[in-house]
Amino acid sequence: MRDFPLAVDLGARTGAFREALAGSDAAGRVGLLVEADLSPRMLAGRTGARLVADEERLPFAFGKLDLVISTLALHWTNDVVGALIQIRRALKPDGLFIGSLFGGATLTELRHCLVEAEIEIYGGAGQRVSPFADAYDAAGLLQRSGFALPVADVDRVTVRYAHPLKLLADLRAMGETSVLAERHPKPLTRQLLGRAFEIYQAKFAEPDGRIPATFEILTLTGWTPAENQQKPLRPGSAKMRLADALGTTEQPLPRDEG
């Protein structure tokens, strides 16, 4: 197993990763963990190494870190690829990045209901929920940023609420409300919210009356390139047919008669 003498938790918030690490078998594998966050108030009152830093303007020297973790913070950046490039540059060769961010299916029910309500009331709809990365493009983000051996995993968590208003209260408490620079020209009125809630309950309510909210979490894993890493085989160098490996019979493609 690998050891990581110097690690950074990027977007540490209230220190959830440090707490989880302390209670895991991997605790002895991580040396100095620096908790970094854009908000000084998030880091206040805790012991350990802490750093106020912007994810889009990282202050770390080139090739100094062994591990960078980011837990549900990178979806707030204006330029995700740019932030990932800076992370890759700060890592040593064969350094590891593990990051999670909300994916495109997050809050799909709420977005659908807001759009439908706006079309009914205003005759058109605009964006009221911050955009999220598409799951299909997740590994591509790492490749574009120069990481090797990229892997993207997708998890979907469904949270059930007694009423859509409880969902909005949770989003506000999480600090996950919209921060779009270009605000919607129409106000989010009680009438609009009330109609959106009616649509939510009519279309998505479960038999017990509770409504679901989907959160899609993309977990990205990538390594900074290094000579000792495994390399993909050269095209055409395979020593076994795929049909033999699967224990099946290879079927020829039909001829194009046109």
Domain span at residue 40 reads 4-225
Average pLDDT score over residue span 192-218: 95
pLDDT exceeds 80 at position 172: yes
In a domain, 26, yes or no: yes
Most confident of the following: 150-154, 237-241, 244-248 = 150-154
pLDDT in tens, 15-25: 999 999 998 98
In a domain, 13, yes or no: yes
Distance in angstroms (rounded) separating the CA atoms of residues 44 and 128: 31
pLDDT in tens, 30-73: 999 999 999 999 899 888 899 999 988 999 999 999 999 999 98
pLDDT of residue 23: 86
Residue 123 three-state SS? coil
pLDDT of residue 1: 74
CA dist 80 → 17, 85, 100, 142, 173 (Å)? 21, 9, 12, 10, 24
In a domain, 257, yes or no: no
State the pTM of this model.
Answer: 0.81
Helix (H) / strand (E) containing 67: strand 65-71
* Other CB atoms within 10 A of residue 83 CB: 24
**Averaged pLDDT score across all residues of the chain:** 87
Q: How many domains does the chain have?
A: 1
Q: Please check whether residue 91 is in contact with residue 216, taking contact to mean a CB–CB distance below 8 angstroms.
A: no
In a domain, 35, yes or no: yes
In a domain, 147, yes or no: yes
Q: Which amino acid is at 17?
A: F
Classify each residue of 136-166 as buried b or exposed e, where b means 16 or more C-beta atoms within 10 Å of its C-beta.
eebbebbeebebbbbebeeeeeeeebeebee
In a domain, 126, yes or no: yes
In eight-state DSSP terms, residue 133 is B
Of the candidate ranges 50-64, 111-125, 189-203, the one whose mean pLDDT is the lowest:
111-125
pLDDT in tens, 62-86: 999 999 999 998 888 888 899 999 9
At residue 8 the predicted structure's pLDDT band, cuts being 50, 70 and 90, is: very high
pLDDT in tens, 123-170: 877 777 777 878 778 888 899 999 998 999 999 999 999 999 999 999
CATH classification at residue 53: 3.40.50.150
**Greater confidence, 67 or 242?**
67
Residue 193 three-state SS? helix
Give the CA radius of gyration of the chain. Answer: 23
In a domain, 238, yes or no: no
pLDDT of residue 232: 63
In a domain, 159, yes or no: yes
CA dist 101 → 63, 110, 202, 215, 232 (Å)? 24, 18, 30, 10, 27
At residue 174 the predicted structure's pLDDT band, cuts being 50, 70 and 90, is: confident
